Amino acid sequence: MVDSMLNELCREAAITRRVLERVPGDSLEWKPHPKSMSLGQLALHVATIPCNLSGLAKVEEFDASQSNFDPPTPGNVEEILTNHDEGLSVAQDYLSSVDDQTLQGSWRLTFKGKEVFTVPRGEFIRSVMLNHWYHHRGQLSVYLRLLDVPVPVIYGRSADENPFA
């Protein structure tokens, strides 16, 4: 189980970096809607998910009331890419250090001391770290499309690129 997640993390990180490399530095403040994150906030969030959530996976319990969910705005695209690359290394180190028994152990989310859910740590990594990452990467690709930035290949061709041609 650990090896497959680690392999997936590495494969998906390359895809994610391709998307992040397309973020236009002159549009970091752009938002598709007033309730949305800015392009820069979303890109930095995507870049930091594996690192941040592998840190959470190390603890037995996390109280969400103790966290600030206001996403920071990066100063430039290089900051986004640096966070992605450095965070990927942290996430790879974490996944390389755990075994299947650790992944079967419980992980608990609370809010002000009240349990929200308890799941096996491996399920937390799969659903909250990896699937959450893919979800926001998909949002980011839509932002790029709305800004008329060519969307890179993610799992197959995009309207802008065809790896099969």
Q: Is residue 158 part of a domain?
A: no
- Cα distance between the two ends of the chain: 35
What pTM was computed for the model? 0.94
CATH of the domain at 10: 1.20.120.450
Res 69: pLDDT? 80
pLDDT of residue 101 exceeding 90: yes
**What CA–CA distance (Å, rounded) separates 160 from 41?**
24
**What CA–CA distance (Å, rounded) separates 111 from 31?**
29
The pLDDT-based confidence of 75 (bands split at 50, 70, 90) is very high
Domain of 87, in residue numbers:
2-98+105-146
Q: Is residue 154 part of a domain?
A: no
How many domains is the chain partitioned into structurally?
1
Q: Is residue 152 part of a domain?
A: no
pLDDT tens, residue by residue, 24-59: 999 999 999 999 999 999 999 999 999 998 999 999
Q: Is residue 77 part of a domain?
A: yes
